[in-house]
Amino acid sequence: MNTDTETDQPASAAPLSTAVILAAGRGTRMKSERPKVMHPLAGQPMLRYLIDNAAEVFDRIIVVAGPGMDDVAALAAPHTVVVQHDRLGTGHAARQAEATFGTGDVAVLYGDNPLITPGTMRALLAQRRSDDTGLALLAMEPADPARYGRVVTRDGLVQRIVEWADATPAERAIGLCNAGVLCAAAADFRRWLAEIDNDNAQGEYYLGDVVARAAAEGRSVRAVVAPEDELRGINSRAELAQAEACVQARLRLAAMAGGTTLVAPDTVFLCADTVFEPDTVVHPHVVFGPGVHVRRGTEIHAFSHIEGATVGPDAQIGPYARLRPGTDVGQGARVGNFVELKATTLGAGAKANHLTYLGNTTVGAKANIGAGTITCNYDGVFKHRTEIGAESFIGSDSVLVAPVRLGKGVITAAGSVITHDVPDDALAVGRARQANKAGYARAFRQRLKNRKEQG
């Protein structure tokens, strides 16, 4: 775990701005052993969003984690991580990072408020750097203020933050709510943090009490109001679902703005790293897992699931197709209904149109995979590869037992079990010889009827 506290910089350099991200929360209301900030949104931990966005605005990032949160520290790398050994409130958490503040402006953010955009962070920093602002904070006006802390103002200036548990009925009626994010000069922040106490209903050190300290000194405290969707906190599974909806809406809009047609946007679920090239079309009820790149001109039909795959260009996928990690679908290839590919390369113009499983397989260009074909790639211990040459025709219900190689232009007879390599342009037949027994079916049915009559 990186606990570097070095703050020295050349005397001639401008003071560095610092974002301190509080990420020590255990997520009790999540009812999970996983740290709250590691719960995923659109396929990546919520903390990842805040770190990436803050990195666009601030010179340095410090993450405050709880003891034993090695996964949080690993995600934060290479940024500095400090540990809050005793969870005594948000003010106490910010104190753990004091030695890393440096001499520039410091913003304290929350790992469970992951959707703050770089634009809002820049607005906060700009407000702090305006002539008369000693402390800037982020606030919102949610449709349902619920249990958010309230921002008490007078004549346009913030006087204090009152937590819901400590608020009077009149204070709870205030619509302007605290998002918890504060920004001040490092020296001021250190002084105000040292002055706050835990004389409140929870017996904790609230970061919001810094606001009252700044106002008591006669410093101007101003709020930057941002959209609720950016500032919503995530403390429960229900709030995680609400945040997921916000992220999905952003991702869908970005995809459409980039040239992708989403036929029914609200039914398509994306990952944060999903990449679409222009002129792609996605039909209803498609789910994208991590690591998907869809190339130009590809069409994804309804009820398909794609993860860890590169698709196209000009490919046709689905409906009801599943592409698993390691899959690469070539130009103009087709993957049809109830076809599953895993760690498979489907060459340009190749087709697997119906009821097929191809695992650890390479399929050459323009090959045709018949309905019901499967590759037996796993022996219970090891995975084995199957190679199917270009322009081969694999008959329906073929079973290809890996490791096996089929050359170029091969044909397998329907219903064959292929266990040995097949040379180029050969016909492979791997099934029992058919024998017809005249009249046997009639006699067999009569025997069954006799047995039934005899009970």
Question: Is 450 assigned to a binding site?
Answer: no
Residue 337 is labelled as binding a ligand:
no
Q: Is 360 annotated as a binding residue?
A: no
User: Do residues 347 and 335 lie in contact, with contact meaning Cβ atoms separated by under 8 Å?
Assistant: no
111 is in an annotated binding site: yes
371 is known to lie in a ligand binding site: yes
**Rg of the chain in Å (alpha carbons):** 31
Residue 24 counted as an annotated binding residue: yes
d(CA 181, CA 424): 67
- 83 close to 23: Cβ distance less than 8 angstroms: no
How far is the CA of 137 from the CAs of 127, 134, 171, 324, 400, in angstroms? 9, 10, 18, 44, 64
Q: Is 193 marked within a binding site? A: no
Q: Is 455 within any annotated ligand binding site? A: no
Sign of CA pseudo-dihedral 191, 197, 200, 203: positive
331 is in an annotated binding site: no
206 is in an annotated binding site: no
- Nearest one of 13, 42, 37 to 27, comparing CA atoms: 37
State yes or no: 36 annotated in a binding site: yes
49 assigned ligand-binding residue: no
320 is in an annotated binding site: no
Dihedral angle sign, alpha carbons of residues 295, 296, 298, 300: positive
**Hey, which bits of 312-350 come out as E strands?**
316-317, 322-323, 327-329, 334-342, 345-346
Q: Does residue 112 have a known ligand-binding role?
A: yes
**Residue in 219, 53, 181, 183 with CA at minimum distance from that of residue 106:** 183
Residue 22 assigned to a binding site: yes
Strands 157-162 and 150-154: antiparallel
According to DSSP, the residues that pair with 288 across neighbouring strands are: 306
Please, what is the Cα angle at 394 between 358 and 423, to 5 degrees?
105
Instruction: Please say if 354 is a catalytic residue.
Output: yes
User: Which of the following is catalytic: 79, 92, 293, 354?
Assistant: 354
The annotated binding site is made up of 22-25, 36, 84, 89-90, 110-112, 149, 163, 178, 235, 324, 342, 357, 368, 371, 377-378, 396, 414, 431
The annotated binding site for Mg(2+) is made up of 112, 235
Catalytic center residues:
354
The annotated binding site for UDP-N-acetyl-alpha-D-glucosamine is made up of 22-25, 36, 84, 89-90, 110-112, 149, 163, 178, 235, 324, 342, 357, 368
The annotated binding site for acetyl-CoA is made up of 371, 377-378, 396, 414, 431
